[in-house]
Amino acid sequence: MMTETLFGLPTGVDAAIRLLIVVGVMTVVVMALIYLERKVLARFQQRLGPTRTGPMGLLQSVADALKLISKEDIRPKNADPWVFELAPFLVFVPTFLGFVAVPFTIAWQVRELELGLLYVLAVSSVNILGWVMAGWGSDNRYAILGALRAVAQSISYELPLVLAMISVAMVANSLNLVEIVRQQATVPNIVWQPLPALLFFICLLAEMNRPPFDAPVGESEVVGGPYVEYSGIRWSMFFLGEYAAMFIMSLLGAAVFLGGGAWPLGEELGVGWQLALTVVKAGAIIFLMFWTRASFPRLRIDQMMSFSWKILLPASIAQILVTGGILVYNLPSGLEHTLLAVTSAIGVLFVYTAINRSVATPRPRPVVLVRRSEAAR
Amino acid sequence: MTNAVQSDHDFEVQDIMINMGPQHPATHGVFRMVLAVDGEIVRDVIPHIGYMHRGGEKLSETMDFRQGIGFMDRTEYLAQFNAELSYVMAVEALMDIQVPERAQWIRMILCELNRLSSHFMFTGAFGTDSGVFGTAFTYAFRWREEIMDLFEEITGDRLMYAYFRPGGLAWEVTDNFAQRVKYVLDQCRQGIKDVDNLITNNEVFKARTQNVGIISAEDAIDWGTTGPVLRGSGVPFDVRRDEPYLFYDQVDFDVPVGQVGDVYDRWCVRIEEMRQSVRIVEQCMAKLQPGPIMPERMPRMLRTPPGEVYIRTEAPRGEYGIYMVSKGGNRPHRLKIRSACFTNLQALKDMSVGNYVADAVLILGSLDIVLGETDR
């Protein structure tokens, strides 16, 4: 499997072709995602979104890309030239690496890796280095503030994300993404493991710096954070990386929790159907991300950190312990899975109540009404 | 300027100074504040105002009483009718003019609608400050737009109305006024509900705003704050209630006050004030009778006798006062605008120090400043 090449071409040519495919597909997908986000957000906000460029504004992303490419690439005088200029690459190259292992259908991916899940998670967290470099290299206080926030946040949310995934891998008994998808032919993992699914989604938002966890790039506070000094093509690379990461992580979520190309139509479907299923599932996750962006205010950095360390991390560790405790007894499959589902659902309820209670004290009557007739002071 | 921070580190730690504004997405208008930041904690706030200073008070001395009205719009450009009202009431007090009833009721209606539109603006801007990407803003602006349309129909202008005159109004309102106001009120009720559902009970919003930027009732009084900032701290002071002008003594409304004095209370007070404004407009519409809108005998040229007067009204941001000194003639000898934002802004440092950088943005937002009024 690992040595197989397209049409028996030499390995080098084969690798180049695959690379071109990856970059080409990702660029198109990212443009589509930016357009979709603008349209969807606009609908949430009672607007129309882009309408002028092309039919229904479909060419808006193309126009934006052209504009960004033709803009002057400005580097601040005091910026560290190497760090500043390399940072965008360190953001988007690791993101694109994740593309290698993500399955689009059961048989379609760039490479089937035995440790695919681990690989995707590992490479997707490298880009934080680029953020730090961007923040440090720009010699801008907003940028460094944003970069430090990004690091703190990334470290905090990486742990529950990986731990949640470990629990799923334990149930699937594999780290191979194709294998995990195959096992979900009848029931998706989200049924057996709702708590990891919830943790995954929350950590996903934080890893992508999306609201309500967008303190590193919060416009009303740090004016764009690490990329405040970037312009033109370098700035668009950050954007490319951001949306590519969103797409890849959604594909990962679709594969691990929603059954990818398998559930509910089984795995012996045609490739077209499998692809459609994967895209729809990933699209659902992306839509949820758009939705949260349209409706949530931003968390403060300390609240964000304590949310991760005090609620998400203990919950994910507890989930691993419980999953392991159930799996170790080799129960009959039906009983085992029921137990998993029930315990995990209890975990979801626990997280829900914890979130509710961690919010400030309830005020049943926020304002007191003083009657006009009451005597003036 | 950097301050060495007392800490238990072996090495020296310095605050970094962060310049927020005058061009920053979160400083409303051209306000500039320099934050001394220790990590994420604000240690000091140095506000800089004056970027929009146009010498309004001095300029008003060169304008006669008709022209001055228009200038008041330009100071408080989110609550123009309230600003005009203070000015024309000052002129009326000096000249001892009796304003016809109908004109007074219409003034009340327009002022309260203006309060609604101004508070809608606040909800939108504050929503953006707190990080809702645009949704709060577009929600609020949709309903604000209905009010603006009504104002445009009446005055012919969307921003600088110049509709009040010493003695009454510039011209009669449109024929379908009652019907339009009713429509706008329905829209506003829906709008208040929408904004409330979207933000007020949002867990993240509560976590961000509750117990942040607390100012006690005593401090609020000492700093001279007025309006929702003062009421958010629990002081039931409202010029409309305590020194009724127009016909505020003939309508029924409640004064909302907060219990803690934090950002969340100021938000809730404003939301409740919007509901009360709807109530007031409804009562005004019921009492509105046909009649003259200007006194029968008005001098062709407005000339005030020598004297001085201080008139204050409850604008959406607090007490908007006009102190006018006249030495005779057709223009004021001295005009002083008592700006609600300017005084409210003084409490900013007290509220912000010790909080997070992100909170400083929210606290500034909760003061709801208008730079045109602050700098004049």
Q: Is the pLDDT of residue A7 over 70?
A: no
Confidence of residue B1 (pLDDT cuts 50, 70, 90): very low
- Please give the mean pLDDT across all residues of chain A: 83
A230's CB contacts (< 8 A; 6+ apart) are A88, A134, A138, A238
Query: What average pLDDT does range B142-147 have in this prediction?
Result: 89
Nearest-CA distance B25 → chain A (Å):
5
Share of chain B above pLDDT 90, in %: 9
- CB nearest B207 (choices: A149, A360, A366): A360
Distances (CA, A) of B23 to A139, B31, B50, B124, B269: 18, 8, 14, 19, 29
pLDDT tens-place string over residues B42-66: 888 888 888 888 888 888 888 888 8
pLDDT for B117 equals 92
- CB nearest B237 (choices: A45, A293, A377): A377
Query: What average pLDDT does range B174-196 have in this prediction?
Result: 88
Share of chain B above pLDDT 70, in %: 97
User: Is B132 part of the contact surface with chain A (CB cutoff 8 Å)?
Assistant: yes
pLDDT for B371 equals 84
User: Is B256 part of the contact surface with chain A (CB cutoff 8 Å)?
Assistant: yes
Question: Which of A108-122, A156-170, A263-277, B120-134 has the least mean pLDDT?
Answer: A263-277
Write down all domains in chain B, each with its CATH number in brackets. 56-375 (1.10.645.10)
User: Is B120 part of the contact surface with chain A (CB cutoff 8 Å)?
Assistant: no
Q: Which of residues 128-157 of A touch B (CB under 8 A)?
A: 141-142, 145, 149
ipTM, interface predicted TM-score of the complex: 0.80
Confidence of residue A287 (pLDDT cuts 50, 70, 90): very high
The one-letter amino acid code at A367 reads V
Partners of B124 on chain A (C-beta within 8 Å) are: none
B86's CB contacts (< 8 A; 6+ apart) are B72, B311, B312, B313, B315, B320, B321, B322
Q: Which of residues 196-225 of A touch B (CB under 8 A)?
A: 211-212, 214-215, 218-223
Do B356 and A211 count as a contact with CB atoms less than 8 A apart? no
Confidence of residue B41 (pLDDT cuts 50, 70, 90): confident
Helix H or strand E segment including B18: strand B16-20
DSSP A121-164: HHHHTTTHHHHHHHHHHTT-HHHHHHHHHHHHHHHHHHHHHHHH
Q: Is the pLDDT of residue B112 over 80?
A: yes
The residue in chain B having the minimum alpha-carbon distance to the alpha carbon of residue A45 is B135
Q: Is the pLDDT of residue A377 over 80?
A: no
pLDDT tens-place string over residues B206-264: 888 888 888 888 888 888 888 899 888 888 888 888 888 888 888 888 888 888 888 88
Distance CA(A349)–CA(B133), nearest Å, equals 28
Nearest-CA distance A370 → chain B (Å):
5
pLDDT tens-place string over residues A99-146: 888 887 777 777 777 888 888 888 888 888 888 888 888 888 888 888
User: Is A295 part of the contact surface with chain B (CB cutoff 8 Å)?
Assistant: yes
